[in-house]
Chain A
Amino acid sequence: DVVLTQTPPTSSATIGQSVSISCRSSQSLLDSDGNTYLYWYLQRPSQSPQLLIYLVSKLGSGVPNRFSGSGSGTDFTLKISGVEAEDLGVYYCVQGTHDPYTFGAGTKLELK
């Protein structure tokens, strides 16, 4: 199975600070159809995960544009430009290129 390694495991930020989360894959996530099936989700405390980013860099419906995704191949980044209090929680990267879908271990975003 594809292993997704997220760093850092925990990130502390102040409101308004920009943060980046890395997701590195054990295999290229570029599919033969030309798409890269890499997603980002946020799970707030005691809530279900919610979609932030799909296909590396496309913003999910209703997701604020302070979130952005980038990367290719095996290296991907989620950036939050100006953290807000509602952004706290655990961020997961997920790949759907290779069967089975796999999730990263998560990055917990805390308030400093």
Chain B
Amino acid sequence: EVKLQQSGDELVRPGASVKMSCKASGYTFTDYAMHWVKQSPGQGLEWIGTIIPLIDTTSYNQKFKGKATLTADKSSNTAYMELSRLTSEDSAVYYCARELTTEGMDAWGQGASVTVSS
């Protein structure tokens, strides 16, 4: 069974950073790209960026450059996203989702909520 298990919900202070994980199982991690998507009430769904674990290549939405950093650890089949200099605008649910070339994001993590509050 394909599964993307995300780390837990986070409550963080403004100005801090948070790093979340997405552990893949049930498939060959390096065969797929991993996307990260933000869902906030005011902005709907937004694509943050993608990492291709096989070649450690990343692609970012310009809006999230400098905000999000995507990495992957092939030894543990885990993708990571770090969000820096957090503000209330970063409070949202974040999803990881895999994609095989152009066939769509066919498996999603359960989502991780980030709340930025003092």
Contacts and interface: CB of A to CB of B under 8 A. Distances in A.
A50 B110 CA distance: 11
16 contacts: A41-B104, A48-B95, A48-B97, A48-B109, A48-B111, A49-B37, A49-B97, A53-B104, A55-B103, A60-B104, A100-B61, A100-B63, A101-B61, A102-B47, A103-B45, A103-B47
B103 to A, nearest CB: 5
Interface in A81-108: 92, 94, 96, 99-103, 105-106
Contacts of A76: none
B66 interface: no
B80 to A, nearest CB: 18
Contacts of A48: 95, 97, 108-111
Contacts of B106: 51, 54, 60-61
Contacts, number: 53
Interface of A: 35, 37, 39, 41, 48-51, 53-55, 58, 60-61, 92, 94, 96, 99-103, 105-106
Nearest to A49: B108
Interface of B: 35, 37, 44-47, 59, 61-63, 95, 97, 102-106, 108-111
A41 B110 CA distance: 15
Given A100-B61, A101-B47, A103-B44, A49 B102 contact: no
Contact of A54 (B46, B103, B108): B103
Central interface residue in B63, B95, B108, by most chain A CB within 10 Å: B108
A40 B11 CA distance: 32
A55 B61 CA distance: 21
A105 B108 contact: no
